[in-house]
Amino acid sequence: MIPVKGGYAVDVPVINVSERARREQATFWSTFKAFGVTFSRLFTSLIKRDMPTISYPEQTRNYSERFRGTHILTVRNDGSLKCVACYMCATICPAECIYIEAGEHPNPEIEKFPKKFDIDMMRCIYCGFCVDACPEEAIVMSREHHQAAYNRNETLYGIEKLMARPGIDAKGPGYRPNRPFAEAKIFDPKKEPSCAIPSVTEERHPAVLYESMIQKRQ
Amino acid sequence: MPKITLNDQTYDAPPGKTIIQLADEIGIQIPRYCYHPDIGIEGSCRMCLVEVEKSPKLVPSCATPIADGMIVRTATPRVQQAVRYAMEFLLLHHPIDCPVCDQSGECWLQDYYMANAGHSSRYPGTEKTRRKKAKDLGPLVKLDQERCILCTRCVRFTRNVTHTDEIVVLNRGHASEIAIHGDKSFDNPYSGNVVDICPVGALTSSDFRFKVRSWFLKGTSAICGGCSTGCNLRVDHSARAMGGGIPGQSASDGKIYRTVGRRNVDVNQSWLCDEGRLSFHAMERWPRLQFPRTRGESRTVDALLPLIHQRFASIRDEHGDASIAGLASATNTNEALFLMKKYFAGRVDFRLGSEVETYQKRQDDLLRRMDKHPNTHGAIDVLLAAEPAGLGGLKGIRKMAEARQVRGMWISFHPQLIGDDAPEILVELQQLIGALDFSVVSTTHDFSWTAGATFVLPMAGWAEETGTYTNFAGRVQISNHAVQPPGEAQPLHKMMSVLLGLSSIQVSPDPAAIFDWIAREVSPYAGMDYDAIGPLGMPGVYSPQQEVVR
């Protein structure tokens, strides 16, 4: 705060402490009132077993269905990845934490698939814009939020980790605004042994293409 | 001269022009798909309809020549309604799959829909026509027939520009589609241009397809470094940090994704050859040299330059002015060549092979030329104008070095972007390095033949430095730097300006200032001003054998 002539640059509410103390009238009896609250809580938790705290890592609370946790990549009915690598999520992402490399899908109707889909969970701000932007409902969020890891590389989630990891089963999906419209399901490792990630049909490195063109012309 | 009234303004228009050409010159926007200034007029898309007074129907402005006393209006409600109807027809069977379409972001359907149409479809999406997708037309071009709007730009390109007639419209009416006869392959040397002129996502480049979305790209105007024609192009490179801080995956380090032809009627119209279009990949053909290579100790470029200057000065003091020389390459900019000439007091040559003999020879009748260096004409102007014999090229310099007349040299080598440098040149360069007492090689890539040199310095390559190239016809054009050079690499003109500064000639490393010095001293560039060259270049005042592109 920069003091300027005639007061502060910003309007600061002034609290008159002595005035407030007089209004609240802290007297001898208020001490007993406070002990009354303490002993009534002690009674409810000890005798009636109504405890507001839980033993956290063993016990967890239920989160909202719209909880925005770690992302999930959904799959089609045949178990292949739903993502078409359109970069809408990477474009909208305010934290710029999504990295995609697109490849040519063997099925020309699908056209594209992500050869690489990485989310840097340390950078992510869990705003859910990627879910809103996705035209295929290929990315949804889960109710999982544990990001503890031994090093930074573990927080860089690739396709496999985004698609299937133990936490998804335990918690279930979270923020998923357009569930009724799209057919996208969460990968079930019990039913499908592995996800059918298509391999790149023909690997054409640009330099290879360029070389072959030069040789052809000469 | 006919007088024409366009949107209540009267203009003098040269006869023979059509309305859309005049509107383009004035700057009045008329939507169009099939019209392109360089491929001939078709009049099939009906987007450029305008209202002409006393004409009962709307007329297509691309195909209507200007007549005296014509009164044209381009923005009346009747015209807007017609454009809206045309857009509705074009989008009727269009699969609106913009998220996966590679043209998205630079698609004319998207632009004109937002600007002129804005309707919602009256056609059930499930019953849209399905056609062939991702069909390979040739090595560089893929066709998606669903997205095609049949503007026939590609057909007219192969018919009128390359005269190869590969792409045709097959069938009639609703069944008509862009295709290639039989199992022919669309592999003429200019095939990539149809991707540039396709207004929608029907024709995409196999090289660029799916690599990056167009809105992540930044365009920088540059000059093709592939041959002496000096085609104008736009380098599209990464501009925004994709993937943010993910180590090793960020694209913010500056990667070139594609090059697109830039229209310049005097040089290349709108076209590029395929080798030139893909020539930016040549920079990644070999590992780049990032840090200077010295014998033993590792030092930065800035720390090495004073040392190099000391060595050159001591050689000159001991053996005379003629004992040091420079060998440049015709891919270096005029600025770099000029400063090198200043530092070595005129004892600089650039001829490695047969650049001078071939730089005006055509390879075909459209754009390509035999000499694969972009600045041979400029090198002749800057280095050989006063003294045509020079040092006798690479062969002459090697003989001088073997006769111990030349003892210290700066060799600047930039590989050809198209094709390979002749192996005998590299052998000869290696022999030259072996014959010298002291040699500095500044080069872009880590070549094995530089192993014998005293110092090997990393140099910025094509599209990594700003400077001027002079094309085969003496046209001076500016090539801007698009991406950062790797590691410690520096443009040659910057290193030369440091060396000149050490020999007490203060030079600004700014290419504009250097070019203004060139304009004062080199007679073909007399009176030229860097700021006046502009994006389309400036024709040379003096040119020995002027040859005009048709």
Query: Which residue ranges form the domains of chain A, and what is each CATH number?
Result: 71-171 (3.30.70.3270)
Q: Are B471 and B268 in contact (CB under 8 A)?
A: no
Chain A CB contacts of B134 below 8 Å? 104, 108, 111
Which has the higher per-residue pLDDT, A4 or B379? B379
Cβ(B48)–Cβ(B35) under 8 Å? yes
Query: 10 Å Cβ neighbour count for B321?
Result: 12
With a cut of 50, say whether residue B102 has pLDDT above it: yes
Q: How large a percentage of chain B has pLDDT more than 90?
A: 62
Tell if the CB–CB gap between B133 and A156 is shorter than 8 Å: no
Q: Are residues B419 and A87, on separate chains, in Cβ contact within 8 Å? A: no
Name the nearest CA neighbour of B433 among B414, B454, B413: B454
Enumerate residues 6+ apart whose C-beta is below 8 A from B191: B137, B138, B139, B140, B141, B274
* pLDDT digits 0-9 by tens, A3-38: 555 555 566 667 667 776 767 766 788 889 889 999
Strand partners, A75: A81, A185
Q: Are strands B9-12 and B3-6 parallel, antiparallel or unpaired?
A: antiparallel
Low-confidence winner among B47-51, B245-249, B357-361 (lowest mean pLDDT):
B245-249
Mean local confidence (pLDDT), A179-183: 63
Q: What is the residue extent of each domain of chain B?
A: 3-90, 293-533
By Cβ distance, the residue of B240, B281, B419 closest to A206 is: B281
State the DSSP H helix or E strand holding residue B5, giving kind and residue range, or none if neither. Answer: strand B3-6
Q: Looking at the predicted structure, is the pLDDT value of residue A217 above 60?
A: no
Which residue do the tokens 């092979």 mark?
Answer: B353
Q: State the DSSP string of B189-257.
A: TTTTHHHHH-SSTTEEETTTTTTS-GGGEEEEEEE--SSTT--EEEEEEE-S-TTTT-TTT-STT--EE
Report helix, strand or coil for B29. Answer: coil
The SS3 call for residue B450 is helix
- Two structure tokens written together for B465: 């430095």
How many residues are recorded in chain A? 218
Give the mean model confidence (pLDDT) for residues B333-339: 95
CB atoms B209 and A98 under 8 Å: no
pLDDT at residue B144 in the model = 93
Strand, helix or coil at B398? Answer: helix
For residue B246, give the nearest of A88, A120, A209 by CB distance.
A120
CA distances to A106, A116, B274 from A202, in Å: 9, 16, 21
Phi then psi for residue B68, to 5 deg, are -65, 135
Q: What is the CA radius of gyration of chain A?
A: 28
- What pLDDT score does A182 carry? 61
Rounded to whole angstroms, the Cα distance separating B376 from B356 reads 7
What pairs with residue B167 in β-bridges?
B180
Q: Other C-beta atoms within 10 Å of A72: how many?
A: 26
Q: Where are the alpha helices (DSSP H) in A85-156?
A: 88-92, 129-133
What digits encode the pLDDT tens for the residues B419-433? Answer: 888 899 999 999 999
What's the mean pLDDT in B316-333?
A: 92
- CA–CA distance, B49 with B79 (Å, rounded to integer): 6
Chain centre to alpha carbon of residue B523: 27
Residue B471: which residues within 8 A CB-CB, separation 6 or more?
A: B223, B228, B229, B230, B267, B374, B377, B477, B537
SS3 per residue for A147-187:
CCCCCHHHHEECHHHHHCCHHHHHHCECCCCCCCCCCCECC
State percent of chain A over pLDDT 90.
Answer: 17
Say which CATH architecture domain B3-90 belongs to: Roll (3.10)
Q: Which residues pair with B456 in a beta bridge?
A: B293, B441
The CA–CA distances, whole Å, from B475 to B199, B262, B299, B543 equal 31, 16, 40, 9
Query: Which residues 6+ apart lie within 8 Å of B39 measured at CB?
Result: B153, B156, B157, B160, B161, B197
Q: What is the pLDDT of residue B316?
A: 93
The CB density around residue B504, as the number of other CB atoms within 10 Å, is 6
A109 touches chain B (CB under 8 A): yes
ipTM (interface predicted TM): 0.81
Contact A214 B419 (CB under 8 A): yes
CA-to-CA distance for B209 and A104, rounded, in angstroms? 9
Is B169 in contact with B178 (CB distance < 8 Å)? yes
Determine which of B104, B213, B372 to mutate to test the interface with A (most A C-beta atoms within 10 Å).
B213
Neighboring chain B residues of A136 at a CB cutoff of 8 Å: 99
Residues 147-206 of B with CB under 8 A from A: 187, 189, 206
Beta-sheet strand order (sheet of B217-223): B217-223, B232-238, B256-261
The answer to whether the beta carbons of residues B197 and B36 sit under 8 Å apart is: yes
How far, CA to CA in Å, does B390 sit from each of B325, B341, B376? 11, 11, 14
Residue B39 DSSP class: T
| Tens-digit pLDDT profile for residues B506-531 | 999 999 999 999 999 988 888 889 99
A121 to chain B, minimum CA–CA distance in Å?
A: 10
Q: Could you report the per-residue pLDDT of B448-485, keeping only the tens digit for each?
A: 999 899 999 999 999 999 999 999 988 999 999 888 88
pLDDT of the residue at A119: 92
Which residues have C-beta within 8 Å of that of residue B135, sequence separation ≥ 6?
B142, B143, B144, B145
Say if the Cβ atoms of A91 and B281 lie within 8 Å.
no
Is A200 in CB contact (< 8 Å) with chain B?
no
Residue B547, pLDDT > 70, answer no
Rg for chain B, CA atoms, rounded: 27
Is the CB of residue A216 less than 8 Å away from at least one CB of chain B? Answer: yes
Phi and psi for A139 in degrees, rounded to 5? -125, 125
Residue A180 has a pLDDT of: 61
Residue B381, class by beta-carbon neighbours within 10 Å (0-12 exposed, 13-18 middle, 19+ buried)?
A: buried
- pLDDT digit string (tens) for A85-126? 999 999 999 988 898 888 888 888 888 889 889 998 988 999
Q: Which of A111, A124, A157 to mutate to test the interface with B (most CBs of B within 10 A)?
A: A111
For the ranges A43-57, A166-180, B475-489, the one whose mean pLDDT is highest: B475-489
On chain B, the residues whose CB falls within 8 A of the CB of A99 are 242-244, 246, 249
Kindly state whether A98 is in contact with chain B, defined as any CB-CB distance less than 8 angstroms.
yes
Q: Hey, what are A158's tokens?
A: 């690739």
Predicted pLDDT at B221: 92
Is a pLDDT exceeding 60 seen at residue B344?
yes
Long-range contacts of B169-177 (CB under 8 A, 24+ apart): B174/B129, B176/B150, B177/B131, B177/B132, B177/B145, B177/B148, B177/B150
What is the band of B150 on the pLDDT scale with cuts at 50, 70, 90? very high
pLDDT of residue A1 exceeding 50 = no
CA distance B233 to B221: 6
Query: CATH topology for B293-533?
Result: Rossmann fold (3.40.50)
What residues in A contact B240, CB-CB < 8 Å?
A: 96
